[in-house]
């Protein structure tokens, strides 16, 4: 198991709800509970297949103050983690 201070391809998130352990990508961790847009390269949802637009994602620009605060706190959790470049 990877060290919890290292970010490789997946970000390991350990919650203290009993013995629950969740493994998710950095994108899933940062933007969980956010819907995203219909752009083909949405920052929140990632690359879309099928029907989508190509106008550019504005999800970050359009975030309200509350969502920006949530995103900032989530970024602070991973900001000082080490990145394993061998696995990228």
Task: Write the DSSP string, 5-71.
Answer: TEESSSEEEE--STT-EEEE-HHHHHHTT----SBTEETTTEE--SS-B-S---TTTT--HHHHHHH
Yes or no: say if 59 and 43 are a contact pair by the CB < 8 Å rule.
Answer: yes
Q: Is the pLDDT of residue 55 over 80?
A: yes
- 22 CB contacts (<8 Å, ≥6 apart)? 13, 14, 15
Average pLDDT over all residues of the chain: 77
* Model pLDDT for residues 11-50, shown as the tens digit of each residue: 444 444 444 446 888 888 899 889 899 999 999 998 888 8
Average pLDDT over residues 63-83: 89
pLDDT score recorded for residue 23: 80
Q: Is the pLDDT of residue 88 over 70?
A: no
pLDDT score recorded for residue 26: 86
């Amino acid at each position: 198991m990877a060290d919890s201070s290292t970010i490789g391809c997946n970000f390991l998130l350990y919650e203290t709800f009993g013995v629950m352990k969740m493994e998710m990508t950095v994108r899933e961790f940062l933007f969980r509970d956010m819907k995203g847009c219909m752009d083909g390269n949405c920052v929140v949802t990632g690359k879309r297949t099928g029907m989508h637009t190509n106008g550019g994602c504005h999800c970050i620009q359009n975030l309200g103050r509350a969502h920006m605060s949530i995103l900032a706190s989530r970024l602070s959790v991973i900001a000082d983690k080490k990145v394993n470049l061998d696995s990228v």
